[in-house]
């Protein structure tokens, strides 16, 4: 299976309510005071990539958001990988509501997703396992977060150029 990374595209993110976002940002700030990673909005990737967008995609996401309610997602602790875009993250439990929303988006956008790894990144970059372990030991982690909207996001390798194109609040 070819797992080549797509460097430019549009992704669908789940975004948090303000209270949850504040908690995640506090963790990111603590990490970045040590590791100095790039700034980015807290999110959980739900679907993608789309190589182009059109009015139909916006309509699908609008309708999906109207058919969906805000819901709680649950942390399964912190994790990390030896990958730039999954360097340090909150593991998110694969609950029915999250998987249902992802499935609805994938189906309506006619995207196929072989595997899904729900997480909220806290740091992008390179760091040793030892430094990540040290950070994890001293980091307070929210156990519950509220997913409040879905967003269509223009993403490429330059994190500073990521742009939320449209945001669709969940009911």
Asked whether residue 71 is assigned to any structural domain, the reply reads yes
123 touches 28 (CB < 8 A): yes
* pLDDT surpassing 50 at residue 168: yes
Task: Indicate which CATH number applies to the domain containing 45.
Answer: 3.90.1140.10
Asked whether residue 12 is assigned to any structural domain, the reply reads yes
What whole-number distance in Å separates Cα of residue 25 and Cα of residue 109? 30
Q: Give the residue numbers spanning the domain of 91.
A: 8-157
Asked whether residue 153 is assigned to any structural domain, the reply reads yes
* pLDDT surpassing 80 at residue 6: no
24 touches 13 (CB < 8 A): no
Asked whether residue 27 is assigned to any structural domain, the reply reads yes
Mean pLDDT for the stretch of residues 53-78 = 96
Asked whether residue 36 is assigned to any structural domain, the reply reads yes
> What average pLDDT does the structure give for the chain?
93
Mean pLDDT for the stretch of residues 66-91 = 96
Nearest to 142 by CA among 161, 120, 162, 159: 120
Tally of domains in the chain: 1
Asked whether residue 166 is assigned to any structural domain, the reply reads no
Asked whether residue 169 is assigned to any structural domain, the reply reads no
Mean pLDDT for the stretch of residues 133-154 = 95
166 touches 61 (CB < 8 A): yes
Give 35-44 pLDDT, tens digit per residue.
Answer: 999 999 999 9
Confidence at 2, pLDDT banded by 50, 70, 90: very low
Asked whether residue 100 is assigned to any structural domain, the reply reads yes
């Amino acid at each position: 299976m070819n797992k080549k990374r797509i460097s430019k595209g549009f992704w669908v993110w789940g975004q948090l309510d303000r209270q949850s976002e504040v908690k995640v940002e506090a963790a990111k700030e603590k990490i970045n005071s040590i590791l100095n990673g790039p700034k980015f909005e807290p999110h959980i990737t739900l679907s993608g990539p789309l190589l182009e967008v059109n009015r139909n995609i916006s309509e699908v996401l609008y309708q999906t958001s109207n058919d969906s309610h805000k819901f709680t997602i649950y942390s399964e602790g912190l994790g990390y990988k030896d990958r730039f875009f999954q360097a340090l993250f909150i593991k998110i439990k694969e609950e029915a509501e999250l998987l249902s929303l992802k499935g609805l988006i994938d189906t309506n956008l006619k995207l196929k997703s072989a595997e899904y790894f729900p997480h909220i990144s806290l740091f992008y970059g390179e760091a040793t396992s030892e430094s990540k372990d040290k950070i994890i030991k001293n980091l307070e982690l929210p156990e519950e977060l509220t997913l409040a909207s879905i967003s269509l996001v223009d993403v490429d390798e330059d994190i500073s150029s990521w742009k939320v194109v449209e945001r669709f609040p969940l009911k």
